[in-house]
């Protein structure tokens, strides 16, 4: 009897360490953040008094936070589909193994191996208005990172480049995993070109597409590396995102009241976007 009970519970016992870490480093901080967002705290995060939704009203009345929300949504809408499309295109080009394919495969995947700080420094030099290669090659005279009209676009371009390698690796793996028999059969039945791509290839790798969509959205909603390194949310809030806003309030300003509320809002925005992608996945994706 004991042996049978152990056999049934054994798989769950192996999950306990991972579950404990998840509870300790994910769920506990989140619920504590939500709890503290309902109170007024000092710079040492000591609770002073209950304030209900007052902290939320303050951040929603802050023009910088509203601007941060808009910038974050623009950031997600631009970086996710474009980086996925480029990664997919490169994977299609590299799908068939050739003699020197390992060379361009490594080059396509290179952005994934470079740290955010190094990428930021490289593009900071490229964007330099007087010495940068971009203005030198195009003949333009634009202060890419200090002009409010181009600063956000500049960061979006950097993020797209940084995401390409990650997307390329997954798409290449999915494309090379396709059955050649299915593709040859579809070709013999008259599916060629765009028809083969849209009716056969895309549906077969739909699970990979949805996985990357979810992971890229989650990353874009919660990243602020390039903003913090290159612009610190400026100029005039042009590149402020939800995460950089939270960083500015909590780390620089020690205003934890606004930071806790903004963090909760950012979480629920991310959760809604991920839930929407999950709904699309259930309706459009088959894992058979």
> In CATH, what number is assigned to the domain containing residue 225?
1.10.3720.10
What is the domain count for the chain? 1
Partners of residue 50 on adjacent β-strands: 39
pLDDT score of 135? 92
Predicted pLDDT of residue 277: 77
- Please give the structure tokens belonging to residue 245: 């806003």
Could you tell me if residue 18 is inside a domain? no
Q: Is residue 101 part of a domain?
A: yes
In a domain? residue 39: no
Asked, for residue 70, whether it belongs to a domain, the answer is: yes
CA-closest candidate to residue 56, choices 257, 286, 268? 257
Residue 215 CB contacts under 8 Å (≥ 6 apart), including other chains:
none
Q: Has residue 27 been placed in a domain?
A: no
DSSP-assigned letter for residue 96: S
pTM of the full predicted structure? 0.88
Predicted local distance difference test score (pLDDT) of residue 3: 66
Q: Is residue 20 part of a domain?
A: no
Any residues with CB less than 8 A from the CB of 137 and at least 6 apart, and which?
none
Domain limits at 256?
A: 58-284
> Which phi and psi angles does 24 have, rounded to 5°?
-70, -45
**Contact of 270 with 246, CB cutoff 8 Å:** no
Q: Which residues contact 152 (CB under 8 A, 6 or more apart)?
A: 71, 74, 75, 238, 239
Predicted local confidence at residue 1, as pLDDT:
59
Report yes or no: 194 and 184 within 8 Å, Cβ to Cβ: no
Contacts of 168 (CB under 8 A, 6+ apart): 87, 90, 91, 94, 108, 109, 112
Task: Tell whether 1 is covered by a domain.
Answer: no
CA distance 129 to 278: 43
Residue 59 token pair: 């951040």
- Taking residue 7's Cβ as centre, other Cβ atoms within 10 Å add up to 9
CA distances from 203 to 69, 94, 167, 285 (A): 33, 19, 17, 8
What's the token pair of residue 151? Answer: 């600063």
Q: How does pLDDT run along the chain (288 residues), one tens digit per residue?
A: 566 776 778 788 888 899 999 999 989 999 999 999 999 998 888 899 999 899 999 999 999 999 999 999 999 999 999 999 999 999 998 888 777 778 888 888 888 888 899 999 999 999 999 889 999 998 888 999 999 999 999 999 999 999 999 999 999 999 988 888 887 887 877 777 788 888 888 888 988 998 899 899 989 998 889 999 999 998 989 999 999 999 999 988 889 999 999 999 999 998 888 888 777 766 655 545
Residue 94 CB neighbours (<10 A): 21
CB 96 within 8 A of CB 236: no
Q: How far apart are CA 167 and CA 150, in angstroms?
A: 26
In a domain, 5, yes or no: no
Please name which of 117, 106, 88 lies closest in space to residue 201, comparing C-alpha atoms. Answer: 88
């Amino acid at each position: 009897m004991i042996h049978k009970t152990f056999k049934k519970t054994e798989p769950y016992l192996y999950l306990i360490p991972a579950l404990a870490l998840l509870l300790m480093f994910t769920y506990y901080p989140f619920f504590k953040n939500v709890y503290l967002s309902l109170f007024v705290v000092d710079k040492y995060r000591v609770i002073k008094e209950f304030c209900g939704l007052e902290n939320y009203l303050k951040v929603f009345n802050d023009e910088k936070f509203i601007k941060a929300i808009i910038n974050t949504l623009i950031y997600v809408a631009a970086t996710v589909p474009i980086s996925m499309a480029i990664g997919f295109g490169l994977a299609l080009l590299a799908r068939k193994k050739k003699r020197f394919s390992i060379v361009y495969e490594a080059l396509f995947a290179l952005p994934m191996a470079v740290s955010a700080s190094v990428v930021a420094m490289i593009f900071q030099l490229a964007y330099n208005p007087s010495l940068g290669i971009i203005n030198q090659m195009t003949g333009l005279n634009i202060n890419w990172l200090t002009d409010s009209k181009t600063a956000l676009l500049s960061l979006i371009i950097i993020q797209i480049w940084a995401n390409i390698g990650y997307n390329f690796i997954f798409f290449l793996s999915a494309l090379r995993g396709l059955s050649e028999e299915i593709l040859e059969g579809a070709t013999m039945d008259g599916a060629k070109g765009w028809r083969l791509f849209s009716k056969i290839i895309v549906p077969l790798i739909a699970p990979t597409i949805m996985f990357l969509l979810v992971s890229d959205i989650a990353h874009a909603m919660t990243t602020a590396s390039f903003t913090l390194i290159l612009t610190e949310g400026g100029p005039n809030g042009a590149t402020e995102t939800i995460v950089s806003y939270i960083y500015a309030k909590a780390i620089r300003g020690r205003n934890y009241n606004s930071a806790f509320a903004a963090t909760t809002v950012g979480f629920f925005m991310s959760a809604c976007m991920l839930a929407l992608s999950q709904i699309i996945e259930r309706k459009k994706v088959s894992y058979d």
